[in-house]
Amino acid sequence: MKKNPLIVGNWKMNYTVAESLSFVAAFLHEMKAFGDTEVIIAAPFTTLYSLGVALSETTLKIAGQNLFWEESGAYTGEVSGVFLKDVGCSYVIIGHSERRQFFGETNQTVHKKIQAALKADLLPLICVGETLEERERGETLHVIERQLKEAIVDIPLSKIATGAIAYEPVWAIGTGKNATPGQAQEVHAMIRDWFARKGDTRTAESLRLLYGGSVKSTNSRDLLAQKDIDGALVGGASLDAKQFADIIRSLP
């Protein structure tokens, strides 16, 4: 089944409104057309509205980097799916390893946030990945399977498949290290097989699987050439307009 490639730039806690708009101008100058590739920028909350306005006449989409599971209420400092949708977001990242590491995100909170995203008509970009210790103990596939099972329990797989699953080995995020194409493909194949066993082959084949973890223009071509890798979740390299464009251009 043909799937449009998906490339997500996760800016994390970088760029003011002015810097964001400057990046977008440089990026659109660098890459004037995207073909059938879907490109998303996950920007800080403070820049989303301005980016949405600036990109309204383009095919670029915006995403939140996180959301809370309630629509409104006494939750100081949180942002709901309703708010993200209101400023023009199409997607939202859920369960990024930095959220798990620094802010206590668990498979259970990821589950609640996926439900909230779908209720707000946002497409979930669900992150999974193992630590270096878990990989060295040979637990990678077990860890990923547990994360999937606990995060999407009782949620129809067809709804999960409207978004994407991003495999991001924790040991490769922001470290300059990355999984080899073979290592990444092994995990992506396992994820697709897991969905096939839990749902049906058509749903599994339609699901877009992304690789994240120190993706750069120097390694993206080999990673994106793998059979079960349908795109990338790009961190630091997405802050450089030319390098981000080069990653998109490296798609087979």
What is the structure's pLDDT at 194? Answer: 94
Give me the catalytic one of 96, 98, 130, 188.
96
Q: What is the mean pLDDT of residues 155-169?
A: 95
Q: Taking the alpha carbons of 222, 179, 162, 11 in that order, is the dihedral positive or negative?
A: negative
Distance CA 87, CA 46 (A): 10
- Render pLDDT for 92-103 as a digit per residue (tens, 0 to 9): 999 999 999 999
Q: Is 168 a catalytic residue?
A: yes
DSSP three-state, residue 6: strand
Domain boundaries, the chain: 6-249
Give me the catalytic one of 38, 98, 130, 168.
168
Q: Is 188 a catalytic residue?
A: no
What is the structure's pLDDT at 2? Answer: 60
DSSP string, 134-181: HHHTT-HHHHHHHHHHHHSTTS-HHHHTTSEEEE--GGGSSSS----H
Question: pTM for this one?
Answer: 0.96
Looking at the domain covering 6-249, what would its CATH class be? alpha beta
What is the structure's pLDDT at 171? Answer: 85
Residues 6+ apart with CB under 8 A from 240: none
Q: What is the mean pLDDT of residues 66-79?
A: 98
DSSP three-state, residue 4: coil
What is the structure's pLDDT at 112? Answer: 98
- Render pLDDT for 114-144 as a digit per residue (tens, 0 to 9): 999 999 999 999 999 999 899 989 999 999 9
